Structure 1
Amino acid sequence: MNAEFIEALGQLEKEKGISKDILIDAIEAALISGYKRNFHSAQNVRVDINRETGRVRVFARKSVVEEALDPRLEISLEAAKEINPNYSLEDVVEIEVTPADFGRIAAQTAKQVVTQRIREAERNIIYSNFIDREEDIVTGIVQRTDNRNYFIDLGRVEALLPHSETMPGERFKHGDRVKTFITKVEKSTKGPQIFVSRTHPGLLKRLFELEVPEIFDGVIEIKSIAREAGQRSKVAVTSRDTNVDAVGACVGHKGVRVQTIVNELRGEKIDIIRYSEDLTEWIASSLSPSKVTSVTIYEEEKMARVVVPDHQLSLAIGKEGQNARLAAKLTNWKIDIKSESEAGVDFVPAHSEDEVE
């Protein structure tokens, strides 16, 4: 190694943020192992790299004793004093033992250590960047797929999109651009692993933040989301500004904002619900687009009995109970739906057939 190598380490420090001193310490430690391996030495040794010139020297470290029983590890007091009269018992004497061709080994080892440390530093940088982006939306390009995952190129790293986290019927091919939601970032021996999803409710929330400036700015707040990915979702919103209509802002002029999100989610239907602090009004709104005649609250059971016009019953319940199910998830209340003609029947919450968990 030479002064140019030391200068190169200094440049790395500026560009990659890897401390030159830490790199040199790591090279010295690796060279100790390299010396013992290549020269079959059982001595205690220290490797020193000059921080200015890059010169590498190897020193054998020997303890000063009365009589040396193991010359690889010990030196007699008499021999030590021949080197320096100031040595005394239990001191450590360092004797240079640098092999003639050690420079070649040092150069190879240094290259390996620096390459490894650069790789580790880059992995740590990527991990640090993405751990702060958990629960955020990212756009990537599909690179390949196997039986379990799509591999999404995010630039400096690949993300894993499990097939189970894609919407029903959704298929991607190489080169497709896709928006996903980061659910988890983990460290591994191969670098950071990033897991993403297309079905997570967080994706819907982030898409609304991208398309509706009032949500991004905090004027409109998303209170809750209930989603059955690829089929239908309900999003409850409220406005902190009385002059801003929360639902209207999310729908956009001629529905352009919500339609952009629907297109991204491959036609998933989205109901935008106006949130209310009034529980009765809130539960009634959650069953949109169905009209509601009345809502009765049962606090102890955290259950609501909802009465709808007879012709609205199937709409309120939805196909295979989907509308009622999403409303229950959205409000976090159990909802029992009755038609007006059924409303006269005694209501027994614990045995309701239309109850939706």
Structure 2
Amino acid sequence: MNFEQYKDVWVFIECFQGQPKDVGFELLGQGRKLADGLNQKLCAVVIGNNIKNAVKEANYYGADKIYVVQGEEYSNYSSDAYGNAFLKLCEKYNPNTILIGATIKGRELGSKIAVSLRTGLTADCTALSVETDTKNVVWERPAFGGNLYAQILCSDTRPQMGTVRPGAFKKPEKNVNNNAQIIEENIRMDTNDILTKVVDFIKSTEESGIKLEEAEYIVSGGRGMKNAENFKILNELADVLGGTVGASRAAVDAGWMPQSKQVGQTGKTVTPKIYIACGISGAVQHLAGMSSSDTIIAINKDPSAPIFEVADYGLVGDIFEIIPEIIKEIRSAKNIYE
């Protein structure tokens, strides 16, 4: 089929109360690779109110063009308002490819756009590439419980669309000298046509501290932690590192940690500088969420645990003997340099 009228790779920059989420910038890095492979422009789409900072950051993270839609009706996300604005942009400019973060809002928005444009949508992608001959985007995602990876093509329709897990990729380097073209579109919507209204925001107690997907240091516990009480020692290690605590699905299913702390295929994808896996066997579902970490340290009493196959450093032994020694050494080192 002839898709010559469809141009450019679009990345949705999700914002909350005007401030951009990291996932949009992570996708600009991947979007650049796709755009270069397709020989097209990389475009950011920013919808909201008081979004000057989001537009500036989208420029710094490498967008060639930035489509901006502003108004009071976009102060809080709604699929009615955001979907209407995004669809009008698509109808006017005909994007070739659209990348959206696989967040709660992104999954809803992506579905609405795909259905309206009668095109396909690949959900929860963890890898992206371009077929050299066909110029189709190859969307890769875990399938069958994470036991294999599926590669999905959207060969018959445009735009090609996919949602991508937050944390699946690292943000590109900032370039403050980038000079993106800013395209402001006056797309308004009567607030009476917005069926869902935001009454208030109530912050969860689980949101305090460093967010799992934004942490540079993560200490995760699995079945080997034995009970919820033992996670205190992981919290102590995370505190001295300046990081946060995660968990495997087994620990979450046992009720030892909240689901918001789960790392893996059915949890969050993270890419910290250091990931310490404590008492985690290393099932493929867990590896799908943390294998891209810069450095992986595994602590497990079972020398044949699969986690050691992906670990950069492995410690075979009792978690409850090893971790206190690590905490002691870190504190000692901090005292020397303070």
Please indicate, yes or no, whether the TM-score normalized by the shorter chain is above 0.5: no
State the TM-score bracket (shorter-chain normalisation): under 0.3
> Quick check: which has more Rg, 1 or 2?
1
| TM-score, normalised via structure 2 length | 0.22
> Which structure would you say has the larger RCO, counting Cα contacts within 8 Å and 6 or more residues apart?
2
| TM-score, normalised via structure 1 length | 0.22
